[in-house]
Amino acid sequence: MDRPSQPSKELLTFENPAPENDYTIRITVPEFTCHCPLTGQPDFADFVIEYVPDQACVELKSLKMYFWSFRDEGGFHEKLSNEVLGALVEATQPRFMRLTANWNVRGGIYTTVVVEHQKEGWNPPQRIELP
């Protein structure tokens, strides 16, 4: 019998299958949950992760378990958004990564936190607009 999945702070990676290309991976995590550090009430967010990998890509099941690990933790929106970006950058060392955290309403206010990382020396390709 398989052991049930457990929350984990370990982010696994796999080798980028096309490191010669600048391409974007976009991941949407619609069910992030944690607790307000002041009230203990649940907080909900959806995260959008966009990145240009270098040598490694994040493995999605470990990402799911990583996000699950925040369920019983408290933290301000800004702290948690930056913490998640930092862990993903440390694990994957991407050329570029942007994390957009869309936090659900708290006290009548919606919060969106956008954090970015760009590898030193990497220049993004110019976007091509087709007619």
Catalytic annotation, residues: 36, 43
**Residue 131 in tokens:** 């007619």
Burial class of residue 80, CB neighbours in 10 A (0-12, 13-18, 19+): buried
**Buried b / exposed e along 12-51 (16+ C-beta atoms within 10 A):** ebeebeeeeeeeeeeeebeebebbeeeeeeebebebebbb
Phi, then psi, of 65 in degrees rounded to 5: -70, -35
